[in-house]
Amino acid sequence: MKFLLVFPRFKYPSGDPPVGPLSLIAYLRRELPSVLVDFFDATFTPSLDAIEKKIELFSPDLVGVYCATLMYEDALKVGIIAKKHGARTVFGGPHSTMAPKSLLSRSCVDFVIIGEGERPLVHLLESYPDMAKIAKNTAIKIRGMKNQENMAKLQLIDDLDDLPFPAYDMVDMGRYIRHWFQMDVVSPALRGTNVFASRGCPFSCSFCQPTLTSLFGKKIRFKSPERLIEEILFLKEQYKINSFIIDDDTLTCNKEWLLKFCTLLEEKKLCMQWGCNTRVGLINEKILEIMSKVGYRRMMVGIESASQRILDEVYNKGIKIKDAPALISSAKEHGVKVFAYFMLGAPTETSREMQKTIDFAFTSAIDEATFSIATPLPGTFLASRFMQNHYRGNDDFSKVDYYRGNPRTVSRNIRSLRLRQKLAFLKFYLHPKRISFLLKSFSSIIAIRKSMLKLKRLVQVKGR
* 136-155: pLDDT as tens digits: 999 999 998 876 656 678 89
The answer to whether residues 124 and 201 belong to one domain is no
pLDDT-derived band at 462 (thresholds 50, 70, 90) equals very low
Helix axes 285-293 and 324-333, enclosed angle (nearest 10): 30
Domain at 48, CATH number: 3.40.50.280
Q: Mean pLDDT across the stretch 396-409? A: 66
What's the pTM value of the predicted model, to 2 decimals?
0.92
pLDDT recorded at residue 437: 78
Residue 404: pLDDT over 50: yes
Confidence grade of residue 245 (pLDDT, cut at 50, 70, 90): very high
Q: What is the dihedral of CA 92, 160, 40, 145, to 10 degrees?
A: -20
Look at residue 167 and tell me whether its pLDDT is greater than 60: yes
SS3 248: coil
Would you say residue 461 has pLDDT above 90?
A: no
Mean of pLDDT values over 258-277: 97
> How confident is the model over 248-257, as pLDDT tens digits?
988 999 999 9
| CB contact set of 17 (below 8 Å; sequence gap of 6+) | 166, 168, 171, 173, 176, 193, 194
Report if residue 68 sits inside a domain: yes
Same domain, 134 and 266: no
Closest C-alpha among 163, 52, 75 to residue 117: 163
Neighbour count for residue 57 (Cβ, 10 Å): 8
The verdict on residue 319 lying in a domain is yes
Range(s) of the domain holding residue 75: 2-142
Comparing 285 with 399, which gets the higher pLDDT? Answer: 285
Asked if 136 and 219 sit in the same domain, the reply is: no
| 276 within a domain of the structure (yes/no) | yes
> Is 155 among the domain residues?
no
CB-based burial of residue 458 (10 Å sphere; 0-12 exposed, 13-18 middle, 19+ buried)?
middle
In a domain, 164, yes or no: no
- Judge whether 344 and 417 are in contact, CB under 8 Å: yes
Same domain, 375 and 235: yes
Query: What local confidence, expressed as pLDDT, does residue 455 receive?
Result: 66
Question: CA torsion 74→79→85→86, rounded to 10°?
Answer: 180
Looking at the structure, do residues 270 and 391 belong to the same domain, yes or no? yes
Write the DSSP symbol of residue 403.
T
CATH number at residue 350: 3.20.20.70
CA distance 124 to 113: 10
> What integer is the mean pLDDT of 385-404?
67
For 191-222, b where at least 16 C-beta lie within 10 A, e where not — what string?
bbbbbbbbbbbebebbbbbebbbbbbbeebbb
Q: Tell me if 462 is assigned to some domain.
A: no
Tens digits of residue pLDDT in 423-452:
999 999 999 988 887 777 766 666 676 666
Please report whether residue 80 resides in a domain.
yes
Same domain, yes or no, for 254 and 377? yes
pLDDT at 40 over 90: yes
Q: Is the pLDDT of residue 119 over 80?
A: yes
**138 and 184 housed in the same domain:** no
pLDDT in tens, 57-69: 999 999 999 999 9
Decide if 162 is inside a domain.
no
Average pLDDT taken over every residue of the chain: 91
Please tell me whether residues 358 and 210 are part of one structural domain: yes
Q: Which amino acid belongs to residue 239? A: Y
pLDDT at 410: 54
pLDDT at 195: 98
* Whether 184 and 94 share a structural domain: no
pLDDT for the residue 375? 86
**DSSP designation for 278:** E
Q: Are 138 and 189 part of one and the same domain?
A: no
The total number of structural domains that make up the chain = 2
Q: Rounded to an integer, what distance in angstroms lies between the CA atom of residue 435 and that of residue 116? A: 43
Contact 86, 60 (CB under 8 A): no
Report pLDDT digits (tens) over 86-109. Answer: 999 999 999 999 899 999 999 999
Q: What percent of the chain clears pLDDT 70, i.e. is strictly above it?
A: 90
The pLDDT assigned to 333 comes to: 96
What number is the average pLDDT over the span 260-270? Answer: 96
Same structural domain, 186 and 133: no
Is the link from the previous residue into 188 a cis peptide, with omega within 30 of 0? Answer: no
**% of the chain surpassing 90 pLDDT:** 75
- Confidence at residue 451, expressed as pLDDT on a 0 to 100 scale: 67
